[in-house]
Amino acid sequence: MKHIELKGTVREAGNKATVKAIRKEGLVPCNIYGLGMKNVLFTVNAGDLKTITHTPNSYIIDLELNDGQKFYAVLHEIQWHPVTDEALHVDFLAVSEEKPVTINVPVKITGHSEGVKMGGKLLVSSRKLRISAQLHELPDLLEVDTTSLRIGKQIVAGDLHYEGVTIVSPKATIICSVRPTRASNTQAQNA
């Protein structure tokens, strides 16, 4: 999985006015925890944060704080402003190379399915799947081949298997399916 660097500035816990002042400066209050460590409060530049939040990709974040602390982390939770869609607060989860990491990874649909060739319509229901793997085995994306997918059939998370990766999403999670269309019904009647 790709790594992305993010620099932060350690901060003290504050009241609402303090947090509001931080946001006015173009910074986003953040928190990192996990692996039995004490919570660390910090801020990051809102523009730098968008390279992580405004992309379909998933990253391992190489977080470096101004006091010299360094962490491997994953995005855990984001609180968004309901009107402006700006990040209000971000939680990061510290990860290590010794323990498996659980993260959402994008799904890439490949192949030209049999059902689409017969006039059906491919519907993609899940753009990401939650997986667990060792840090060095995390894939950038999960490829799902739809070549043999026929009309009325679907691919679910339980159908997928990748080496070194455990799919954590429920087995019944629908990834994609081929729905019949009028064109496919006409082709079937003419055949």
Which pLDDT value is given to residue 150?
Answer: 93
Instruction: Please tell me which residue, 184 or 40, carries the higher pLDDT value.
Output: 40
Which pLDDT value is given to residue 19?
Answer: 87
Please give the radius of gyration of the chain, using alpha carbons only, rounded to the nearest integer: 21
Which pLDDT value is given to residue 95?
Answer: 93
What is the percent of the chain where pLDDT is above 90? 70
CB 4, CB 52: distance < 8 Å: yes
Evaluate if residue 165 carries a pLDDT over 90: yes
Strands (E), the chain: 3-10, 27-34, 37-45, 60-65, 70-80, 87-95, 101-110, 121-124, 128-133, 142-145, 154-156, 166-167, 174-179
pTM (two decimals): 0.79
Which pLDDT value is given to residue 35?
Answer: 86
pLDDT band at 105 (very low <50, low <70, confident <90, very high): very high
Which pLDDT value is given to residue 80?
Answer: 93
Average per-residue pLDDT for the chain: 90
Helices H / strands E in the chain, number of each: 4, 13
Which pLDDT value is given to residue 185?
Answer: 63
The domains of the chain, with CATH numbers, are 3-96 (2.40.240.10), 102-190 (2.170.120.20)
pLDDT band at 184 (very low <50, low <70, confident <90, very high): low
Evaluate if residue 188 carries a pLDDT over 60: no
What is the percent of the chain where pLDDT is above 70? 95
| Residue 124 burial (CB count, 10 A) | 13
Evaluate if residue 190 carries a pLDDT over 70: no
Evaluate if residue 134 carries a pLDDT over 60: yes
pLDDT (tens digit per residue) in 51-61: 998 888 899 99
Which pLDDT value is given to residue 191?
Answer: 53
Burial code (b: 16+ CB inside 10 Å, e: under 16) for 132-155 equals ebebeebbeebebebeebebeeeb
Q: With CA atoms as reference, report the closest residue to 42 among 68, 70, 66.
A: 66
pLDDT (tens digit per residue) in 17-27: 888 888 899 99
